[in-house]
Structure 1
Amino acid sequence: VVNFNVGADLREAIKATTVGIIGEKGSAMYIGGVQDASTRAQDASATAGRAFTLTGGKLKVVGTDPSVGITLKSSSGKETKVAEDLWVTNDPSKLTFIIPADLADGTYELKVTTQFGSNSKTMLKVPRSVMKTIYIGTAPSGGGSSSGGDGGLDENPLG
């Protein structure tokens, strides 16, 4: 048991304390890692027709909004929605799905949209998304994804 007695010094320190609001709290949804099941590569490269795993936070895909799901947008702008029957694991911290086999090699923007809240009983009214740049085929050499595809790591509440 610990007891604190507020003395004069602590009262003065509390009076001198200021609170600075630096902005709106970021989303707790983030992608922390990726892995191609075919090659075990963790460099954001993926193989069409094979499983691809995302690890992170609040990734579970649930909700009734039409935007909810997993999409892949090619550099030419063509968007492909990953059918729900291609989802292998759909957990808050791990999402595994099959990359559609008919996608051509190239750079894609992977987008996960969900209404998953803080637990399985709470759904968000407005869907939230996280994006990550991935490469079907071989990832370009020279440092991986430098095109803003950080997967929301800046919103990682632990980082």
Structure 2
Amino acid sequence: MATNDPKKHSITGNLVANMLTEREDDYTFNVTYTANRTIKDLCKLAAAGKSKFTASELESAYNDLKEQAKTELFTSATVEFGFTNNMLGVDGPFIGPEAKFDPAVNSVTMRCIPRTEFKSDLESISVIVGQVSEGLPTITKVTDVVTGEVNARITPGGSLNGTGKRVRIVGEEGKPVGFFFINTNDQTEKAVPMTALSRNDPSYFSFIIPSLPDGSYYLEVATQAGTNNKTLVKEVRRNRFPYVLTVGAGGSDRPEIE
């Protein structure tokens, strides 16, 4: 018998000690992601499902809609596209009634607000809490040396100083260890060369920020360092700093987990 009840969804993940607070019983929830889907992937999946269009037709239609959405957005319309309502804004101070836009202190930004229908969908998702992940490397704070900003904007080519627990980069040959910047839009990854590390201690690190296009990024640390500085754990342990780091004018400095 057919039903109109919405499909039930669930997400799983593990608890990780929250090093950003002083409570010893405070944890954050790290979602276990199952895949990374691009627009091309979604078109292929939809075409293989119930869609009457081919993957190429769906992608072509999406690209046409995206270009039209950009045209409308960039001419001051508010645009419903994807999961959000999108609009432009201008950040920075305007001093005095005759103030002009100054690129040195002002910037055009995109503001995205989740659409109401998806907010209600989120309330219906069940969350399955797995085990507590112990001993993960954890970054607690980063400071951009060029600007002095903390947990916010970063400057490619400048130094980034950080503090944390078990953040010393060590590992067996061939293992993917180090610091990595993950683009929040397309999930592309940029590794920090080990030669860029100027300090590599269990609780402190410093490195030169690699060349990164304007945008927003997560910083992740991967290491085989154990609780005992003289030993290595069997597998690489990787963890994400919960603040979004921004290059240029775009992005947000709000944490992923509040």
On the 8 A contact 1:61/1:90 being kept in 2, the answer is yes
Structure 1 or 2: more helix by fraction: 2
Alignment correspondent of 1:40: 148
On the 8 A contact 1:46/1:138 being kept in 2, the answer is no
| CA 139–45 in structure 1, closer or farther in 2 if over 3 Å, else same | farther
**CA distances 1:60-98 after superposition (whole Å, capped 9, x unpaired):** 010025221111121222211111111111000011111
| CA 70–28 in structure 1, closer or farther in 2 if over 3 Å, else same | closer
Alignment correspondent of 2:189: 79
Q: Does 1:58 align with 2:166?
A: yes
Once residues 87 and 36 of structure 1 are traced to their aligned partners in structure 2, the CA distance between those partners, rounded to angstroms, is 15
- Please report the RMSD computed on the Cα atoms of aligned residues, expressed in angstroms: 2.2
- Residue among 197, 200, 220 paired with 1:90: 200
On the 8 A contact 2:137/2:222 being kept in 1, the answer is no
Once residues 148 and 249 of structure 2 are traced to their aligned partners in structure 1, the CA distance between those partners, rounded to angstroms, is 12
**CA distances 1:98-142 after superposition (whole Å, capped 9, x unpaired):** 111x3112111211100001233210001111212321235756x
What letter matches 2:235 in structure 1? V
What letter matches 2:189 in structure 1? E
Counterpart mapping for 1:78-157 below 5 A: 78-100=188-210, 102-132=211-241, 133-138=244-249, 140=251, 144-148=253-257
Name which structure has the greater RCO, CA cutoff 8 Å, separation 6+. Answer: 1
SS in 2 for 1:56: strand
Cα distance, 1:34 vs structure 2: 1.1
Alignment correspondent of 2:105: none
The count of corresponding residues between Structure 1 and Structure 2 is: 125
Structure number with larger C-alpha Rg: 2
| CA 137–118 in structure 1, closer or farther in 2 if over 3 Å, else same | same
TM-score, with length taken from structure 2: 0.44
Once residues 229 and 249 of structure 2 are traced to their aligned partners in structure 1, the CA distance between those partners, rounded to angstroms, is 36
Once residues 122 and 68 of structure 1 are traced to their aligned partners in structure 2, the CA distance between those partners, rounded to angstroms, is 15
Alignment correspondent of 2:138: 30
What letter matches 1:53 in structure 2? N
Percent identity, please.
31
| CA 32–139 in structure 1, closer or farther in 2 if over 3 Å, else same | farther
On the 8 A contact 1:44/1:139 being kept in 2, the answer is no
Once residues 136 and 62 of structure 1 are traced to their aligned partners in structure 2, the CA distance between those partners, rounded to angstroms, is 28
What letter matches 1:61 in structure 2? I
Stretch of structure 1 that moved more, 91-100 or 70-79: 70-79
Cα distance, 1:25 vs structure 2: 5.6
